[in-house]
Structure 1
């Protein structure tokens, strides 16, 4: 099956259902950003450190990759950046367009997969913002490779992703307060399902998610040429059983440096 096409439809449905990651920022947030008081999140609770960005983002070419929903892109555009938002879901991109129209912002939207940036020029962007989203593609190596290609020399890739530990536990058991190890990594949400469960999952247009290894997440960036220059961890903000024990999200700042 075409999992990318399936997840596209699933994210369109999430917008219709009003889930948290599809809710655009408010007019107040945009007004603050225009005054230079801005921040963005790539993981559930922590802001990306401002020192990970240029001192000023005025005129900085930023690609918000798999980042629709009217959140990161409009904030950065309001701060003065030259923003392109790319997402598989047109309805997520419509949220960015709505904020841009509402608040007088200029940004570009492109519908497409994070694994294929062939429509974008090589060495064009200064910064790529990539929130927790590569769990929706089976192979993340093309994501890192394409990100490296479209960044300028000394460009920056700022990525959030899931600690694969999150996927080893039985999800239904965890919701009942029990941490029961059931799955191995790499992982797909379809792996433990029976044929009947798969049919129901797909018919309900639920997303298909993939638990990628830390080697694929971190060494994968290094292998295409990035140098990891920043790191932090995050969690669900105390709403999940694992939160008291370990952080289940992380973010990296990677540089496209000139290799001699």
Structure 2
């Protein structure tokens, strides 16, 4: 099946349902950002430390798979030159709406995060990629493309998911799936068919070798990281943090 097309439609549907990751920032949040009171996330709860960012004014930023009007508008109102690249047309429209309302100049492009050929080499200072690589079945091309489009000393910030989180039963946390997990290959046929029928996004639990080692293989130097959890919304929070945020630079 065409995973990209399916997940694009799934996220369009999530916008219609007002899923938490599709609700844009409020005017109040934008006003607070102007006063220096702001925070954006790569993972569910923990805000990215401000010292991970260089000076934002004039910085060319690619919000990779970052549609939804949540991170881009904050970065733009702080003075960055923001481009949002996302697989979902309706997620991109969230950024477009906020941008027009506030004259932020955000540019939006629809596409597959593994193919950034619309951008020239070395055209961005920072790539901001909230937890989204789980929605594609192969991720090594993502790191190669991010490396290519970044300038020397450019920064990649990305949200990752511990592959163990996909291998556990959601309620009793027993280990039931082998690594790497894939909705396509790991689920019983009837469960997969139900997901497709309900237009739910398909997910993939990539190994840490591909998620972190893949960044190193592409040429990045990882400088910082943190762990995060669901914020109490998942039983596994009591046992381990399911999410990882990383900051890497292109030498």
TM-score range, shorter chain: over 0.9
Q: Secondary structure at the match of 1:218?
A: helix
Q: Residue 37 of structure 2 aligns with which residue?
A: 37
Q: Residue 203 of structure 1 aligns with which residue?
A: 197
Counterpart selection for 1:216 from 206, 210, 213:
210
Q: Secondary structure at the match of 2:128?
A: strand
Alpha-carbon shift at residue 39 of structure 1 (Å) = 1.7
RMSD: 1.0
Cα distance between partner residues in 2 of 1:215 and 1:117? 22
Alpha-carbon shift at residue 239 of structure 1 (Å) = 1.5
1:17-28 mapped onto 2 (5 Å cutoff)? 17-28=17-28
Cα distance between partner residues in 2 of 1:247 and 1:196? 30
Q: Secondary structure at the match of 1:242?
A: helix
* Aligned residues of 2:223 and 2:248 also touching (Cα < 8 A): yes
TM-score for the superposition, normalised by structure 2: 0.97
* Aligned residues of 2:183 and 2:192 also touching (Cα < 8 A): no
Q: Secondary structure at the match of 1:253?
A: strand
1:94-173 mapped onto 2 (5 Å cutoff)? 94-171=93-170
Q: Residue 49 of structure 1 aligns with which residue?
A: 49
> Is structure 2 residue 220 aligned with structure 1 residue 226?
yes
Q: Residue 180 of structure 1 aligns with which residue?
A: 174
Alpha-carbon shift at residue 9 of structure 1 (Å) = 0.6
Listed as ranges, the gaps of 5+ residues in structure 2 are none
Alpha-carbon shift at residue 224 of structure 1 (Å) = 0.7
Alpha-carbon shift at residue 146 of structure 1 (Å) = 0.2
* Aligned residues of 2:23 and 2:69 also touching (Cα < 8 A): yes
Q: Secondary structure at the match of 1:7?
A: helix
Cα distance between partner residues in 2 of 1:118 and 1:192? 32
Cα distance between partner residues in 1 of 2:86 and 2:125? 19
Cα distance between partner residues in 1 of 2:186 and 2:106? 41
Q: Secondary structure at the match of 1:243?
A: helix
Alpha-carbon shift at residue 102 of structure 1 (Å) = 2.1
Cα distance between partner residues in 1 of 2:177 and 2:124? 38
* Aligned residues of 1:34 and 1:80 also touching (Cα < 8 A): no
Cα distance between partner residues in 2 of 1:88 and 1:192? 24
Alpha-carbon shift at residue 165 of structure 1 (Å) = 1.1
Q: Residue 245 of structure 1 aligns with which residue?
A: 239
* Aligned residues of 1:42 and 1:132 also touching (Cα < 8 A): yes
Cα distance between partner residues in 2 of 1:124 and 1:37? 28
Q: Secondary structure at the match of 1:80?
A: coil
Greater shift, 237-246 or 196-205, is seen at 196-205
Cα distance between partner residues in 1 of 2:58 and 2:35? 15
